Amino acid sequence: MHRLCLPLLLILVCTTPALANAGEEFITMQGKNGKVTFPHRKHQELNRGCRVCHSADQGVKIQNFGMAWAHKNCKGCHETLRRGPAQCSDCHKK
Ligand code: HEC
Ligand code: HEC
Ligand code: HEC
């Protein structure tokens, strides 16, 4: 029994695909209106999928990221769910 366990464990470990690049845990954006600290990992852990923000499950660079995107998507989701910051000064810290 024991002689079987180790090889089985090794097969399991070795065939598990390498973890995809999940990006930074926190992403800090420096804007004129004060910096925004975005808890990236926390949002991934909401388990709504990467595609809520990215165009692919691997999390490729977001096209046209900036104020318009952020206020529509970041603030938009917070308002829709009634969770997460929706006031200017809750996101932008001087
Ligand atoms: C949910 C978080 C959030 C809220 C709420 C929010 N913002 Fe933003 N805002 C951002 C993000 C993220 C960016 C994009 C920063 C970047 O492009 O690096 C941004 C960008 C901006 C910019 C452009 C900054 C620059 O230097 O390009 C301005 C100005 C701004 N916001 C003002 C406001 C005002 C005024 C409010 C309230 C009416 C507000 N924001 C509410 C997250 C937020
Ligand atoms: C709530 C929005 C949101 C979710 C959900 C999210 N991300 Fe991101 N992610 C961002 C933002 C914002 C950036 C920084 C801006 C950019 O990359 O254009 C970023 C950046 C990244 C980067 C760095 C991209 C680069 O080329 O610089 C990777 C990798 C990444 N995310 C992976 C993931 C993966 C994998 C998931 C799902 C498990 C995920 N993200 C879920 C918002 C999100
Ligand atoms: C799909 C919905 C969704 C999107 C898109 C989204 N958020 Fe959130 N965000 C949430 C939820 C839900 C919470 C509350 C999490 C909690 O309280 O555990 C939250 C919380 C936060 C918080 C507070 C974290 C804390 O520790 O209190 C910040 C800051 C934030 N979001 C910034 C952003 C920014 C910046 C973006 C865009 C780059 C963004 N969010 C996009 C759903 C979203």
Domain ranges within the chain, ordered by starting residue: 36-94
How far is ligand 2, taken at its centre, from the CA of residue 45, in Å?
12
Residue from 27, 35, 42, 69 to probe ligand 3 pocket by mutation (most atoms less than 8 Å from CB): 42
Strands 26-29 and 92-93: unpaired
**C-beta 92 within 6 A of ligand 2:** no
Nearest CA to ligand 1 atom 17: 66
Q: Is the CB of 83 under 6 A from ligand 3?
A: yes
pTM score of the predicted model: 0.90
Ramachandran bin of 40, using left for φ above 0, alpha for ψ from -120 to 50, beta for the remaining angles: alpha
For every one of its 94 residues, what pLDDT tens digit does the chain have, with 9 covering 90 and above? Answer: 566 655 555 555 444 444 568 999 999 999 888 999 999 999 999 999 999 999 988 888 999 999 999 999 999 999 999 999 999 999 999 8
Is there an atom of ligand 2 within 6 Å of 81 CB?
no
- What is the maximum alpha-carbon separation in the chain? 64
Give the fold, CATH level 3, of 36-94: Cytochrome C3 (3.90.10)
Exposed/middle/buried for residue 91 (C-beta within 10 Å: 0-12, 13-18, 19+): buried
